[in-house]
């Protein structure tokens, strides 16, 4: 079967790597893809125009499309493909609102009793500032719309909170913020696939959102991940019962059938697991850590979701652990330096995998071409071995002035 993968990051390279192993795939395409994916798939130039890609897929006879990033999902790529009778793994626009609008997600959680931080939403700066005046720091201010992981301010002073609110709300475009109660505790990512009925959680993982060691420095799109994250006792079952099930059932009762991946960002608070955010897709870098441990055929899984047969499929996993270290360009996240030479070594793929993101092939070889450049994934029989292999992989890369965290997995080691 002809399969198309949409996206160009490390997550999509990992999806492409996994899809390429499926005997069900006769030909793999990636739009727009990246140099790493070019070794596994035919790259289709794409500037983000959804109708164009859907028409191309129809003419090419693409039988299944997997969508990596949130942008196209929130813009309605699944709707456009479905309207042409094409099968697509990824939620339709109304369902992708769980990520596209934090205020929609918070209201949904409120309606269905899903545990999350107390909140208020505002669309004008004056009311937001008046409200903040009555609160106390620490407090959290979030841009309600998509912000590539950079729209959240965990404010330690009211001044900082007010500045964040004013920055978002005083621009020329209409905007909305969510002001949220500050929660504390370890964070875990629980991804689940669903066909709108059956829910199958994937192995829990943990991202590292801050740029520097010890969870310091600015927020980023994610600097590394470990999998599986060792959740205690029944916590995963609790998250399934209190979060995933009411979400999928609640959406269904509102006429929205969610098909694809649900990303639940969870904080394990003293009062139980609480949702920090929902996303409508695999996490990046969580996917790079999770997918190498998935034994089940990704295409078989995606087809079961699309066709509403997930109840017939149990997921199988390889034993052991994985650890992903993200290597970013100097200047990331604000002003990444592009065009730096990059050289990847050959290491045994059962131990170390390289997933590319912001890279470009040139006559002189591979160059950096964005902030998030490379995900290095180590695989091992336990977390310690996975981490050791990931860092062996990192040290073998030639990439001057690369930024990466030296302490991935530090909280569970």
Binding residues vs ligand GLY (CB under 6 A): 149, 207, 222, 279, 283-284, 286
Choose among ligand GLY, ligand AMP, none what residue 183 binds, the Cβ cut-off being 5 to 8 Å by kind: ligand AMP
CA dist 406 and 312 (Å) reads 42
Return the residue matching tokens 């092939």: 361
CA dist 391 and 368 (Å) reads 20
CA dist 30 and 4 (Å) reads 6
* Binding stretches for ligand AMP (CB under 6 A): 117, 140, 142, 152, 154, 180-183, 187, 209, 265, 276-277
Q: What 3-state class would DSSP assign to 409?
A: coil
- Choose between 282 and 354: whose C-beta lies nearer to ligand AMP: 282
- Choose between 200 and 274: whose C-beta lies nearer to ligand AMP: 274
Minimal distance, residue 149 CB to ligand AMP, in Å: 6
- Choose between 149 and 272: whose C-beta lies nearer to ligand GLY: 149
Residue whose C-alpha is closest to residue 62's, from 28, 106, 113, 35? 28
- Choose between 58 and 182: whose C-beta lies nearer to ligand AMP: 182
Residue whose C-alpha is closest to residue 307's, from 254, 259, 368, 372? 259
Minimal distance, residue 204 CB to ligand GLY, in Å: 13
Minimal distance, residue 184 CB to ligand AMP, in Å: 6
Choose among ligand GLY, ligand AMP, none what residue 180 binds, the Cβ cut-off being 5 to 8 Å by kind: ligand AMP
Nearest residue to ligand AMP, by Cβ distance, number only = 277
Minimal distance, residue 279 CB to ligand GLY, in Å: 5
Choose among ligand AMP, ligand GLY, none what residue 284 binds, the Cβ cut-off being 5 to 8 Å by kind: ligand GLY
- Choose between 119 and 282: whose C-beta lies nearer to ligand GLY: 282
| Residue 241 burial (C-beta neighbours within 10 Å; 0-12, 13-18, 19+) | exposed
Q: What is the 3-state secondary structure (H, E, C) of 221-271?
A: CCCEEEECCCCCCCHHHHHHHHHHHHHHHHHHHCCCCCCEEEEEEEEEECC
């Amino acid at each position: 079967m002809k399969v198309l993968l949409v996206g160009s990051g490390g997550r999509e390279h990992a999806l492409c790597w996994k899809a390429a192993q499926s005997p069900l795939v006769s030909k793999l395409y990636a739009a727009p893809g990246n140099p790493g994916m070019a070794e596994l798939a035919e790259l289709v130039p794409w500037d983000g125009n959804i109708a164009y890609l859907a028409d191309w897929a129809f003419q090419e006879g693409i039988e299944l499309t997997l969508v990596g990033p949130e942008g196209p999902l929130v813009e309605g790529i699944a709707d456009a493909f479905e309207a042409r009778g094409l099968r697509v793994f990824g939620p339709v626009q109304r369902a992708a609102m769980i990520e596209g609008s934090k205020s929609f997600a918070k209201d949904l959680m409120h309606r269905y009793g899903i545990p999350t931080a107390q909140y208020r939403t505002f669309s004008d700066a004056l009311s937001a500032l008046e409200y903040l005046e009555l609160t106390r720091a620490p407090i959290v201010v979030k841009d309600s719309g998509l912000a590539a992981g950079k729209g959240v301010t965990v404010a330690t002073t009211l001044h900082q909170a007010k500045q964040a609110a004013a920055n978002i709300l005083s621009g020329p475009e209409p905007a909305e913020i969510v002001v949220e109660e500050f929660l504390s505790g370890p964070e875990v990512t629980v991804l689940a696939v669903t066909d709108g009925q059956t829910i199958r959680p994937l192995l829990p993982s943990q991202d590292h959102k801050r740029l520097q060691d010890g969870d310091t420095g600015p927020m980023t799109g994610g600097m590394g991940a470990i999998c599986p994250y060792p959740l205690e006792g029944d916590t995963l079952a609790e998250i399934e019962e209190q979060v995933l099930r009411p979400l999928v059932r609640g959406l269904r009762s509102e006429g929205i059938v969610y098909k694809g991946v649900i990303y639940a960002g969870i904080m394990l608070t003293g009062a139980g697991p609480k949702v920090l955010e929902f996303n409508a897709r695999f996490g990046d870098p969580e996917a790079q850590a999770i997918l190498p441990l998935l034994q089940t055929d990704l295409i078989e899984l995606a087809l079961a979701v699309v066709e509403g047969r997930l109840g017939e499929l149990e997921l199988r996993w390889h034993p052991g652990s994985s650890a992903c270290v993200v290597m970013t360009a100097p200047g990331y996240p604000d002003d990444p330096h592009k065009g730096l030479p990059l050289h990847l070594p050959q290491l045994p793929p059962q131990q170390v995998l390289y997933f590319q993101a912001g890279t470009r092939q040139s006559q002189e070889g591979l160059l950096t071409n964005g902030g998030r450049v490379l995900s290095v994934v180590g695989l091992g029989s336990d977390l310690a071995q996975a981490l050791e292999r990931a860092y062996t992989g990192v040290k073998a890369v030639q990439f001057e002035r690369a930024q990466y965290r030296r302490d991935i997995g530090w909280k569970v080691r």
